[in-house]
Amino acid sequence: MFGSHLGDDGLVGRLLVVESIEPGNLDGCRPLSSPVDSSESWIMLVERGSCGFAEKVRNMQASGAAAVIVGDPWYDLPITMYASGDTSDVRIPSSFIARTEYNGLRDAALDTPDGRPLKIKLVRNEYYELPFLDVLFITILSPMLMMGFIYVLYRLRLRQHRLRDLAPTDLVNSLPVKIFYHSKYREGEPAECAICLDDFDDEDELRILPCKHQYHVKCIDRWLTTRKKFCPICKKNVCPSSESSPLLSPRLRALV
């Protein structure tokens, strides 16, 4: 639409083709030379080209039209009518139609039976009259929100996979702990933490994993709950196998 907006009830009027009123004025680029003999509102159908949209509408407005329809004689692609400069003087509504609709409407208006006038009704196209913020939301914000939603789902999925690789805190806390003393050290036992590489000192708390490897409590607890649920040395899972998914034996693992 160009010019004023249609009301909720639309606009009903007699459809006139400008060339039937003035054969030399096919495109409505000048006002009609004589007034239209009609006691009812009329809507003028003009052809695209030769002058701007605003000029066509102004000319037909000056000639007494209640609305203007601009038809494209070449293409079947809808376009948005645009005019540069001030168009506040344009007080009547106008609309653009593509070639197929233009030819059909033109033929219907020119070939009415018994010369009876063809009446049409212009109604608002709600899609093109959406408030600016609604259009902004639909065209820009909606895709952004969708991408944000997809990103959140992606992060949640990563978190779920991450949690599967970690040992539950309760399980880690349930693993046995011993106090290290040099006086009780046995030949062949580890004398340092394989995570921090510090030597064990007297009264250090050591966490003993099911595989019997030992680490500082603070080192191995952080490892199991934030990195991997496997022993850093032998890679054995510290979580017990469930009945639904038992751990594979070494022999079966080799066959898979």
Domains and CATH numbers, the chain: 2-127 (3.50.30.30), 175-242 (3.30.40.10)
Q: Which residues contact 236 (CB under 8 A, 6 or more apart)?
A: 209, 210, 211, 230
Q: State residue 134's pLDDT score.
A: 62
Nearest to 23 by CA among 42, 47, 40, 49: 47
Q: How many angstroms separate the CA atoms of 122 and 7, rounded?
A: 10
Whether the model pTM is above 0.75? no
The per-residue pLDDT of the chain, averaged, comes to 83
Q: How many angstroms separate the CA atoms of 19 and 106, rounded?
A: 10
Least confident of 104-108, 125-129, 151-155: 125-129
Q: State residue 243's pLDDT score.
A: 35
pLDDT tier at 4, thresholds 50, 70, 90: low
Specify the DSSP class assigned to residue 44: E
In a 3-state reduction of DSSP, which class is residue 218? helix
Cα 134 to Cα 6, 123, 141, 167: the distances in Å are: 19, 20, 10, 48
pLDDT greater than 80 at residue 139: no
The two structure tokens encoding residue 69: 């329809």
Least confident of 11-15, 129-133, 194-198: 129-133
List the beta strands (DSSP E) in the chain. Answer: 2-3, 11-17, 42-47, 67-71, 93-97, 118-122, 177-179, 205-208, 214-216
Give the pLDDT mean for 79-96: 82
CB 92 within 8 Å of CB 57? yes
Give the pLDDT mean for 19-37: 87
CB 94 within 8 Å of CB 67? yes
Give the pLDDT mean for 73-92: 82
Q: State residue 255's pLDDT score.
A: 36
pLDDT greater than 70 at residue 16: yes
Q: State residue 246's pLDDT score.
A: 43
**pLDDT digits over 34-55, tens only?**
888 777 888 999 999 889 889 9
